[in-house]
Amino acid sequence: MTPHVPREHRQWHAPPEEVPPMSVEDVAAIEAILGYKFADKSLVKLVLTHGSFYFPYRLGDTYERLEYLGDGVLTCLMLREVFRTYGTLPPGPLTRLRAANVDTEKLARVTVHPRPPPLPPPQGTQTPRPGSVVYPNSNNSFYTNFIVRRYLCVLCDIVESLIGAIYWDSNFDQEVWRVFRTLADPLIGLETLGKHPVTELFEFCQKTRRGVKFVKDEWNKSLKVEVLVDGELVASATYGQKKEIAQNRAAKAALDKLKETLGQTQSESGSADVSEALDELDIAGTLKCQ
Protein backbone atom coordinates (compact mmCIF):
# COMPACT_ATOMS: atom_id res chain seq x y z
CA MET A 1 0.00 0.00 0.00
CA THR A 2 1.32 3.44 -0.90
CA PRO A 3 2.01 5.44 2.28
CA HIS A 4 -0.02 8.58 2.83
CA VAL A 5 1.87 11.77 2.02
CA PRO A 6 0.68 14.99 3.69
CA ARG A 7 -0.48 17.60 1.20
CA GLU A 8 2.29 20.03 2.16
CA HIS A 9 4.94 17.38 1.36
CA ARG A 10 3.59 16.29 -2.00
CA GLN A 11 5.59 16.93 -5.14
CA TRP A 12 3.71 19.18 -7.52
CA HIS A 13 4.57 19.06 -11.19
CA ALA A 14 4.23 22.36 -12.98
CA PRO A 15 1.91 22.26 -16.00
CA PRO A 16 3.14 23.25 -19.46
CA GLU A 17 3.40 26.96 -20.21
CA GLU A 18 0.39 26.65 -22.51
CA VAL A 19 -2.55 24.32 -22.82
CA PRO A 20 -1.72 21.69 -25.46
CA PRO A 21 -3.35 22.50 -28.80
CA MET A 22 -6.39 20.56 -29.91
CA SER A 23 -6.15 18.52 -33.06
CA VAL A 24 -8.13 19.47 -36.13
CA GLU A 25 -10.03 16.20 -35.74
CA ASP A 26 -11.04 16.99 -32.14
CA VAL A 27 -12.24 20.45 -33.08
CA ALA A 28 -14.20 19.04 -36.01
CA ALA A 29 -15.77 16.40 -33.75
CA ILE A 30 -16.99 19.05 -31.31
CA GLU A 31 -18.32 21.18 -34.16
CA ALA A 32 -20.20 18.15 -35.45
CA ILE A 33 -21.81 17.62 -32.04
CA LEU A 34 -22.84 21.26 -31.86
CA GLY A 35 -23.83 21.62 -35.50
CA TYR A 36 -21.82 24.83 -35.58
CA LYS A 37 -18.47 25.71 -37.17
CA PHE A 38 -16.33 28.18 -35.26
CA ALA A 39 -14.69 31.03 -37.12
CA ASP A 40 -12.18 31.28 -34.26
CA LYS A 41 -11.08 27.69 -33.59
CA SER A 42 -9.07 28.72 -30.52
CA LEU A 43 -12.33 29.25 -28.65
CA VAL A 44 -12.92 25.49 -28.67
CA LYS A 45 -9.75 24.86 -26.64
CA LEU A 46 -10.58 27.72 -24.29
CA VAL A 47 -14.07 26.34 -23.68
CA LEU A 48 -12.53 23.10 -22.40
CA THR A 49 -9.76 24.60 -20.24
CA HIS A 50 -10.46 24.39 -16.51
CA GLY A 51 -8.62 26.53 -13.96
CA SER A 52 -7.15 23.45 -12.28
CA PHE A 53 -4.88 22.99 -15.30
CA TYR A 54 -2.68 25.79 -13.95
CA PHE A 55 -3.20 25.31 -10.21
CA PRO A 56 -1.33 25.86 -7.94
CA TYR A 57 1.46 27.48 -9.94
CA ARG A 58 -0.11 30.35 -11.85
CA LEU A 59 -3.18 31.75 -13.45
CA GLY A 60 -4.03 31.25 -17.11
CA ASP A 61 -6.75 31.54 -19.68
CA THR A 62 -9.75 29.37 -18.79
CA TYR A 63 -13.39 29.06 -19.75
CA GLU A 64 -14.43 31.28 -16.82
CA ARG A 65 -15.17 34.43 -18.85
CA LEU A 66 -17.00 32.52 -21.57
CA GLU A 67 -19.01 30.68 -18.92
CA TYR A 68 -19.99 34.03 -17.39
CA LEU A 69 -21.14 35.26 -20.80
CA GLY A 70 -22.95 32.02 -21.59
CA ASP A 71 -24.81 32.05 -18.28
CA GLY A 72 -26.32 35.43 -19.11
CA VAL A 73 -27.07 34.47 -22.71
CA LEU A 74 -28.87 31.26 -21.69
CA THR A 75 -30.96 33.08 -19.12
CA CYS A 76 -32.05 35.61 -21.73
CA LEU A 77 -32.71 32.98 -24.41
CA MET A 78 -34.82 30.76 -22.16
CA LEU A 79 -36.75 33.73 -20.84
CA ARG A 80 -37.59 34.71 -24.41
CA GLU A 81 -38.60 31.12 -25.24
CA VAL A 82 -40.97 30.61 -22.31
CA PHE A 83 -42.39 34.12 -22.74
CA ARG A 84 -43.19 33.36 -26.38
CA THR A 85 -44.45 29.81 -25.77
CA TYR A 86 -46.74 30.60 -22.84
CA GLY A 87 -48.40 33.86 -23.82
CA THR A 88 -50.75 34.13 -20.85
CA LEU A 89 -48.55 32.76 -18.07
CA PRO A 90 -47.73 35.15 -15.18
CA PRO A 91 -44.12 35.90 -14.12
CA GLY A 92 -43.99 33.32 -11.30
CA PRO A 93 -44.49 30.18 -13.45
CA LEU A 94 -42.40 31.74 -16.23
CA THR A 95 -39.52 32.11 -13.79
CA ARG A 96 -39.80 28.48 -12.71
CA LEU A 97 -39.86 27.26 -16.32
CA ARG A 98 -36.80 29.32 -17.19
CA ALA A 99 -34.92 28.15 -14.10
CA ALA A 100 -35.79 24.48 -14.70
CA ASN A 101 -34.30 24.59 -18.20
CA VAL A 102 -31.01 26.27 -17.28
CA ASP A 103 -30.31 24.77 -13.86
CA THR A 104 -27.07 22.95 -13.13
CA GLU A 105 -28.44 19.42 -13.44
CA LYS A 106 -30.28 20.08 -16.70
CA LEU A 107 -27.22 21.59 -18.36
CA ALA A 108 -24.89 18.89 -17.02
CA ARG A 109 -27.04 16.24 -18.68
CA VAL A 110 -26.26 17.81 -22.05
CA THR A 111 -22.63 16.71 -21.71
CA VAL A 112 -23.36 13.07 -20.84
CA HIS A 113 -26.57 12.29 -22.72
CA PRO A 114 -25.90 9.53 -25.27
CA ARG A 115 -27.58 11.54 -28.05
CA PRO A 116 -25.73 13.63 -29.19
CA PRO A 117 -22.35 12.04 -28.36
CA PRO A 118 -20.88 13.16 -25.00
CA LEU A 119 -18.73 16.27 -25.10
CA PRO A 120 -15.03 15.72 -24.31
CA PRO A 121 -13.75 16.41 -20.78
CA PRO A 122 -12.17 19.80 -20.00
CA GLN A 123 -8.39 19.91 -19.77
CA GLY A 124 -7.25 20.07 -16.16
CA THR A 125 -9.99 17.94 -14.61
CA GLN A 126 -10.61 14.25 -14.18
CA THR A 127 -14.13 13.89 -15.48
CA PRO A 128 -16.15 10.65 -15.50
CA ARG A 129 -15.03 7.85 -17.76
CA PRO A 130 -17.70 6.99 -20.35
CA GLY A 131 -18.61 3.78 -18.57
CA SER A 132 -18.92 5.42 -15.17
CA VAL A 133 -21.71 7.83 -16.04
CA VAL A 134 -25.27 6.79 -15.24
CA TYR A 135 -27.31 8.20 -18.09
CA PRO A 136 -30.75 9.71 -17.47
CA ASN A 137 -32.52 6.76 -19.10
CA SER A 138 -30.82 4.30 -16.75
CA ASN A 139 -32.64 2.47 -13.95
CA ASN A 140 -30.11 3.92 -11.51
CA SER A 141 -30.44 7.47 -10.24
CA PHE A 142 -28.37 10.12 -11.97
CA TYR A 143 -28.21 11.92 -8.66
CA THR A 144 -26.61 9.25 -6.55
CA ASN A 145 -23.67 8.70 -8.85
CA PHE A 146 -20.71 10.05 -6.89
CA ILE A 147 -18.56 10.89 -9.90
CA VAL A 148 -21.28 12.84 -11.67
CA ARG A 149 -22.22 14.53 -8.40
CA ARG A 150 -18.66 15.71 -7.87
CA TYR A 151 -18.23 17.19 -11.32
CA LEU A 152 -21.76 18.37 -11.97
CA CYS A 153 -20.86 22.05 -11.78
CA VAL A 154 -17.90 21.58 -14.13
CA LEU A 155 -20.11 19.87 -16.71
CA CYS A 156 -22.63 22.69 -16.42
CA ASP A 157 -19.84 25.24 -16.83
CA ILE A 158 -18.74 23.56 -20.08
CA VAL A 159 -22.19 24.01 -21.61
CA GLU A 160 -22.44 27.63 -20.48
CA SER A 161 -18.96 28.40 -21.82
CA LEU A 162 -19.84 26.74 -25.13
CA ILE A 163 -22.90 28.93 -25.44
CA GLY A 164 -20.85 31.99 -24.56
CA ALA A 165 -18.22 31.03 -27.15
CA ILE A 166 -20.79 30.52 -29.90
CA TYR A 167 -22.51 33.79 -29.03
CA TRP A 168 -19.20 35.63 -29.22
CA ASP A 169 -17.92 33.77 -32.28
CA SER A 170 -21.13 34.35 -34.25
CA ASN A 171 -21.00 38.09 -33.52
CA PHE A 172 -24.00 37.83 -31.18
CA ASP A 173 -26.13 36.02 -33.74
CA GLN A 174 -29.24 34.04 -32.81
CA GLU A 175 -27.51 30.93 -34.15
CA VAL A 176 -26.65 30.21 -30.53
CA TRP A 177 -30.30 29.44 -29.74
CA ARG A 178 -30.50 26.84 -32.51
CA VAL A 179 -27.44 25.08 -31.09
CA PHE A 180 -28.70 25.09 -27.52
CA ARG A 181 -32.22 24.08 -28.52
CA THR A 182 -30.81 20.98 -30.22
CA LEU A 183 -28.50 20.06 -27.33
CA ALA A 184 -31.08 20.60 -24.59
CA ASP A 185 -33.95 18.81 -26.32
CA PRO A 186 -36.43 18.15 -24.85
CA LEU A 187 -36.99 21.36 -22.96
CA ILE A 188 -38.99 21.22 -19.74
CA GLY A 189 -42.50 22.49 -20.46
CA LEU A 190 -45.34 23.58 -18.24
CA GLU A 191 -47.00 20.19 -18.56
CA THR A 192 -43.82 18.52 -17.27
CA LEU A 193 -42.99 21.02 -14.56
CA GLY A 194 -46.24 20.63 -12.66
CA LYS A 195 -47.01 22.65 -9.57
CA HIS A 196 -44.53 23.39 -6.83
CA PRO A 197 -45.18 20.72 -4.14
CA VAL A 198 -45.44 23.22 -1.28
CA THR A 199 -47.90 25.37 -3.23
CA GLU A 200 -49.96 22.34 -4.22
CA LEU A 201 -50.04 21.05 -0.64
CA PHE A 202 -51.36 24.35 0.69
CA GLU A 203 -53.95 24.54 -2.10
CA PHE A 204 -55.06 20.96 -1.45
CA CYS A 205 -55.40 21.50 2.29
CA GLN A 206 -57.30 24.72 1.74
CA LYS A 207 -59.80 22.97 -0.54
CA THR A 208 -60.26 20.10 1.91
CA ARG A 209 -60.42 22.45 4.91
CA ARG A 210 -57.31 21.11 6.60
CA GLY A 211 -54.61 22.97 8.46
CA VAL A 212 -51.01 22.44 7.37
CA LYS A 213 -47.79 23.38 9.13
CA PHE A 214 -44.10 22.79 8.44
CA VAL A 215 -41.97 22.06 11.50
CA LYS A 216 -38.25 22.76 11.10
CA ASP A 217 -37.21 22.74 14.76
CA GLU A 218 -35.05 19.63 14.31
CA TRP A 219 -33.20 20.90 11.23
CA ASN A 220 -29.96 21.75 13.05
CA LYS A 221 -29.86 18.30 14.70
CA SER A 222 -31.24 15.86 12.14
CA LEU A 223 -31.71 17.94 8.95
CA LYS A 224 -35.38 16.99 9.17
CA VAL A 225 -38.48 18.91 8.10
CA GLU A 226 -41.88 17.60 9.22
CA VAL A 227 -45.36 18.23 7.83
CA LEU A 228 -48.27 18.42 10.25
CA VAL A 229 -51.82 18.29 8.91
CA ASP A 230 -54.51 19.15 11.44
CA GLY A 231 -51.84 18.77 14.11
CA GLU A 232 -50.85 15.23 13.11
CA LEU A 233 -47.51 14.19 11.60
CA VAL A 234 -48.15 13.11 8.01
CA ALA A 235 -44.68 13.07 6.45
CA SER A 236 -41.09 14.10 7.03
CA ALA A 237 -37.98 14.40 4.92
CA THR A 238 -34.28 15.04 5.38
CA TYR A 239 -31.70 16.52 3.09
CA GLY A 240 -28.02 17.02 3.79
CA GLN A 241 -27.52 20.41 2.20
CA LYS A 242 -30.61 22.58 1.75
CA LYS A 243 -33.59 23.04 4.04
CA GLU A 244 -35.76 24.09 1.09
CA ILE A 245 -35.25 20.75 -0.66
CA ALA A 246 -36.14 18.83 2.50
CA GLN A 247 -39.29 20.94 2.74
CA ASN A 248 -40.17 20.24 -0.89
CA ARG A 249 -39.69 16.52 -0.37
CA ALA A 250 -41.78 16.52 2.79
CA ALA A 251 -44.55 18.45 1.03
CA LYS A 252 -44.51 16.03 -1.88
CA ALA A 253 -44.68 13.03 0.46
CA ALA A 254 -47.48 14.57 2.53
CA LEU A 255 -49.51 15.46 -0.55
CA ASP A 256 -49.23 11.96 -1.98
CA LYS A 257 -50.14 10.49 1.41
CA LEU A 258 -53.25 12.67 1.70
CA LYS A 259 -54.37 11.97 -1.85
CA GLU A 260 -53.82 8.25 -1.35
CA THR A 261 -55.98 8.39 1.76
CA LEU A 262 -58.74 10.11 -0.18
CA GLY A 263 -58.35 7.75 -3.14
CA GLN A 264 -57.17 10.44 -5.54
CA THR A 265 -54.42 10.31 -8.12
CA GLN A 266 -50.83 11.15 -7.38
CA SER A 267 -49.94 14.82 -7.07
CA GLU A 268 -49.20 16.87 -10.16
CA SER A 269 -45.71 17.45 -8.80
CA GLY A 270 -45.09 13.73 -8.69
CA SER A 271 -43.62 13.28 -12.15
CA ALA A 272 -40.11 11.85 -12.27
CA ASP A 273 -38.61 14.98 -13.81
CA VAL A 274 -40.00 17.31 -11.15
CA SER A 275 -39.11 15.04 -8.23
CA GLU A 276 -35.56 14.66 -9.50
CA ALA A 277 -35.19 18.39 -10.07
CA LEU A 278 -36.12 18.95 -6.42
CA ASP A 279 -33.68 16.33 -5.19
CA GLU A 280 -30.54 17.86 -6.76
CA LEU A 281 -27.51 15.85 -5.69
CA ASP A 282 -27.13 14.50 -2.18
CA ILE A 283 -26.50 10.85 -1.47
CA ALA A 284 -27.50 11.39 2.17
CA GLY A 285 -30.91 12.80 1.31
CA THR A 286 -33.79 10.53 2.34
CA LEU A 287 -37.56 10.65 2.17
CA LYS A 288 -39.89 9.08 4.68
CA CYS A 289 -43.68 8.84 4.87
CA GLN A 290 -45.30 8.13 8.21
Per-residue DSSP letters for the chain?
-PPP--GGGPPP-PPPSSPPPPPHHHHHHHHHHHT---SSTHHHHHHTB-GGGTTTT-----SHHHHHHHHHHHHHHHHHHHHHH-TT--HHHHHHHHHHHHSHHHHHHHHH-SSSPPPPPPBTS-PPPGGG---TTSSS-GGG-HHHHHHHHHHHHHHHHHHHHHHHHTTS-THHHHHHHHHTPSPP-HHHH---HHHHHHHHHHHTT--EEEE-TTHHHH-EEEEEETTEEEEEEE-SS-HHHHHHHHHHHHHHHHHHHTTPPPPGGGSHHHHHHHH-S-TT-EEEE-
Which class is 17-188 in CATH? Answer: mainly alpha
Which CATH number applies to 197-289? Answer: 3.30.160
Residue 153: the pLDDT is: 81
Residue 246: the pLDDT is: 80
Q: Residues 84, 85, 90, 95: is their CA dihedral positive or negative? A: negative
Residue 6: the pLDDT is: 61
Query: What does pLDDT average to in each consecutive run of 10 residues of the chain (290 residues)?
Result: 55 61 88 91 86 60 88 91 89 87 84 57 44 35 47 84 91 84 84 76 87 79 83 81 77 88 55 39 34
Residue 81: the pLDDT is: 92
Domain borders along the chain are 17-188, 197-289
> 17-188 and 197-289 share one CATH topology?
no
Q: Following CA atoms 52, 58, 59, 63 in sequence, which dihedral angle do they give, to the nearest 10 degrees?
A: -30
Residue 264: the pLDDT is: 58
